Amino acid sequence: MVAYAASEYCKKEVVEIGDAKTVGLTLRVIPGKAVWYVRRREVTLRLLEAQYVPLDDARYYAEQIKLAAGRGVDLKEFARVLVSYAPGRNLPSALETQRIVELGIAQRNQAKALPESPTWTWATLTDRFLAYKLPKLKEKYRKQYEHYLRLSEFAPIRGKPVAGIKLRDLEKVRDAIFLAHAPSAVHRAVTQSKQMLSWAWRFQASKSGLEEVEHEWWLRWSFEYKTKARTHEPTIQEIARVLAIAETFRHLAKGEHETYPGTLGALWGVALTAQRTGALLLLRQDRLFEPGKPHRKLRGWQIANWTAQEMKGGRDGGRPHSLPLPPDALRILRKFHREAGGKSPWLFQARTPDKHVTPSALTLLIHRLQGRVYDHTVKQKPAWKGKPGPKPRPKKERPNLFEEFGVRPFTLHDIRRAIATFLDERRLGGAATAILGHKSSTSHLDEREKLAPVTEQHYSRSQRIDLKAEGIALWTKVLLATYERERTKIRKGRALRFAA
C-alpha cells in the first residue's frame, strides 16, 4: 500500500481499507502516503504513516486504545503518547503499556505547565483583575463588565508587558474602539481599563511590572464623553394612550407574530409601577405577599418584593425593595398572565413558560410602535445600478403609531420621571421616592409623610409600605381612568379609518 500511494495510480483518489481482525483500524491511502487511523464511535484518532508502522504494531496500538477507552481516559492524549513509544518485537503487557502511557502523559502535562512570566502582559493583567473584580459585582452585571475589557480592539497590546505599554498604545486602542463602537462603549472601556491599571499599581506592583512607576500616568488616557441629560417626561395621558395603542394594534406587520400577551402585561407592569424593567421582569408569583397586620387597610392588595441583588446597585450595592399593588393593578397583570398560558412561575411570562419577558423585548415593542424596527429579512442597502440578478424586496412599511396618535417619543424609563412629577404635584414626593426605590432625606418632606407608618414585615429595612400604597393607589386610579378614555377614542378612530 505504501508503494501504491507513491504510484501514479493514486493521484486522484482516496482509498480506505478496514482491518478485518481489529475493529476500527483503518488504513487511509492518499496520494503520496498511507496513514493508520483508529475510528471509534466517539472519536477518530490518527496514528502514524504505514511506512513507519507495520500491521502488527498498528493492531497493537488499536487494541491498547480500545482498553484505554474502557478506563475513561482522554483517548486523544493517550494515542499521542502511545505512538511516541515504539513497541518493537517484545510487546509489553497491557499493564506495562498503561504505566508507560500514564508516565508519558504526566511528563507532557508537566511540560505544558510553563512558569508564568515574571511580569504580566496586558492579557494576564486583564485575567487577574477580572478574577478580583467580578465577584464583587452583582451577577447580572459581570458579563457586561468583562465584555468591555475583552473587546477585540485590545488585541495589539494583549501580548505586551504592562510595564512596556505607552500612552500612545492606549490611545491607538481607544481610537480603534471609537471606530467600531458607540461613544458610551469607548467611555466604559477606557474607564474600566484605567481602574484596572490603578489596581495593579497599588496592589500588584511587582508582579505587574509597575513597581518603579512613580505616578498613575494612564489617568491622562481619556475620552471626551458627556452623558446627555434625560428630560423626556410623558404625561399620564400619553402613557395611557400608548397602553391603548399597544392593546388595540397587537398585529403590527404582515408576516410577524402579534404582540405576545406576556409582553403586553410587562408594558402594563412598567406603567403601573414605574419600576426599572430589569428588576420588574424578575418578579415571580411567589414573591407577591399578603399585607401584614400593620396594614389592615390594604385588604385585597399584595406586596411585590425584590432582593438587593435584583435591584439596581448604587455605591452601597442596592437595597431590598417592596411595593404594594392594588387589586385593580393585580387584576390587569394576572389577566395577561392567563392569556400567556398561566403556567409560568414568572408574573411576566415569555413564549417559553420557564422564561420571563426580557427588557429588550419591551424596548423592541416601543420601537415597533414608533415604526423603528430593523427588518433583517430585507437588504438594507439599495442595489447597484445595472447590477444583474434579483432585486431586493421592498422594506416592510410600519406606521409610526406614536406620531399618528399624537404621542411624543419616550422610553419606558421616562415613566419614572412622570410618576415622580405626578405625585410631587400632589404633595406626595416622598411616596414617589419610596416607590422608585431611591434614597430619601426626610428634611424636605411634610409632617404627614414624616409620620407615615413603617413596616419591616418582608425585609429587615424600612419599606414605608403605607406611604407607597397611598402614592400607587392615586397613580393607578388616574392612569386606569385615563386609559379607558383613550381606549374609547382610539377604537372609534380605528373604526372610522377602516370604514374609510
DSSP 252-273: -STTSPPPPHHHHHHHHHHHHH
Domain-embedded: residue 314: yes
More confident residue, 289 or 4: 289
Let me know whether 355 and 273 are in one domain. Answer: yes
| 3-state secondary structure at position 434 | helix
What pLDDT, on the 0 to 100 scale, is given for residue 176? 93
Rounded distance between C-alpha atoms, residue 29 and residue 36, angstroms: 9
Q: What are the CA-CA distances from residue 454 to residues 106, 299, 318, 368, 498 (Å)?
A: 65, 17, 20, 42, 54
Let me know whether 209 and 62 are in one domain. Answer: no
What pLDDT, on the 0 to 100 scale, is given for residue 283? 93
Residue with cell 464583587: 136
Tens of pLDDT along 163-210?
A: 999 999 999 999 999 998 889 999 999 999 999 999 999 999 999 999
Let me know whether 54 and 129 are in one domain. Answer: no
What pLDDT, on the 0 to 100 scale, is given for residue 444? 44
More confident residue, 265 or 46: 265
More confident residue, 245 or 52: 245
Domain-embedded: residue 231: no
| Least confident span in 111-115, 127-131, 270-274, 446-450 | 446-450
Domain boundary among 161, 186, 220: 220
What pLDDT, on the 0 to 100 scale, is given for residue 291? 87
Per DSSP, 208 falls in state H
Let me know whether 191 and 252 are in one domain. Answer: no
Q: How confident is the model at residue 21 (pLDDT cuts 50, 70, 90)?
A: confident
Calculate Rg over the CA atoms of the chain.
33
| Least confident span in 23-37, 74-88, 106-120, 128-142 | 106-120
Structural domain span for residue 151: 122-220
Q: How confident is the model at residue 101 (pLDDT cuts 50, 70, 90)?
A: low
Indicate the average pLDDT of the chain. Answer: 81
Domain-embedded: residue 226: no
| Least confident span in 23-32, 76-85, 217-226, 269-278 | 76-85
Residue 445: how many CB atoms within 10 A of its CB?
19
Q: How confident is the model at residue 6 (pLDDT cuts 50, 70, 90)?
A: low
What pLDDT, on the 0 to 100 scale, is given for residue 447? 40
**Domain containing 40 — which CATH number?**
3.30.160.390
Percentage with pLDDT > 70 across the chain:
76
**Domain containing 461 — which CATH number?**
1.10.443.10
What pLDDT, on the 0 to 100 scale, is given for residue 242? 95
Let me know whether 419 and 272 are in one domain. Answer: yes
Complete DSSP assignment for 50-82: TTTS-HHHHHHHHHHHHHHHHTT--HHHHHHHH
Rounded distance between C-alpha atoms, residue 439 and residue 318, angstroms: 10
Domain-embedded: residue 225: no
List strands edge to edge, sheet with 321-325: 288-289, 302-306, 321-325
What pLDDT, on the 0 to 100 scale, is given for residue 106? 55
Q: How confident is the model at residue 42 (pLDDT cuts 50, 70, 90)?
A: confident
What pLDDT, on the 0 to 100 scale, is given for residue 392? 56
Number of compact structural domains in the chain? 3
More confident residue, 233 or 139: 233
Residue with cell 406586596: 303
Per DSSP, 443 falls in state G
What pLDDT, on the 0 to 100 scale, is given for residue 458? 42
Q: Are 427 and 446 in contact (CB under 8 A)?
A: yes
pLDDT winner (highest mean) among 87-91, 139-143, 474-478:
474-478
Let me know whether 39 and 152 are in one domain. Answer: no
Domain-embedded: residue 444: yes
| 3-state secondary structure at position 498 | helix
Domain boundary among 51, 82, 112: 112
Let me know whether 362 and 479 are in one domain. Answer: yes
Domain-embedded: residue 249: yes
Domain boundary among 112, 135, 167: 112
Let me know whether 215 and 261 are in one domain. Answer: no
Domain-embedded: residue 385: no
394 has pLDDT over 70: no
Rounded distance between C-alpha atoms, residue 478 and residue 236, angstroms: 8
**Domain containing 182 — which CATH number?**
1.10.150
Domain-embedded: residue 175: yes
Q: How confident is the model at residue 385 (pLDDT cuts 50, 70, 90)?
A: low
35 has pLDDT over 90: no
What pLDDT, on the 0 to 100 scale, is given for residue 195? 96
Let me know whether 168 and 97 are in one domain. Answer: no
Let me know whether 95 and 143 are in one domain. Answer: no
Q: How confident is the model at residue 85 (pLDDT cuts 50, 70, 90)?
A: low
Q: How confident is the model at residue 262 (pLDDT cuts 50, 70, 90)?
A: very high
Let me know whether 64 and 161 are in one domain. Answer: no
Q: What are the CA-CA distances from residue 230 to residues 43, 366, 488 (Å)?
A: 57, 17, 32
Rounded distance between C-alpha atoms, residue 276 and residue 178, angstroms: 29
Give Cα 499 distance to the centre of its chain. Answer: 46
Cell of 34: 498511507
Q: How confident is the model at residue 102 (pLDDT cuts 50, 70, 90)?
A: low
Which of 315, 119, 139, 136 lies closest to 200 in space, CA to CA? Answer: 119
| Contacts of residue 151, Cβ cutoff 8 Å, sequence gap at least 6 | 177, 181, 185, 189
122 has pLDDT over 90: yes
More confident residue, 15 or 335: 335
314 has pLDDT over 80: no
Find the mean pLDDT for residues 139-145.
Answer: 86
What pLDDT, on the 0 to 100 scale, is given for residue 439? 65
User: To 5 degrees, how large is the angle CA 120–CA 125–CA 130?
Assistant: 155
Let me know whether 186 and 269 are in one domain. Answer: no
Report the amino acid identity of residue 257.
H
88 has pLDDT over 80: no
Element (H, E) at 324: strand 321-325
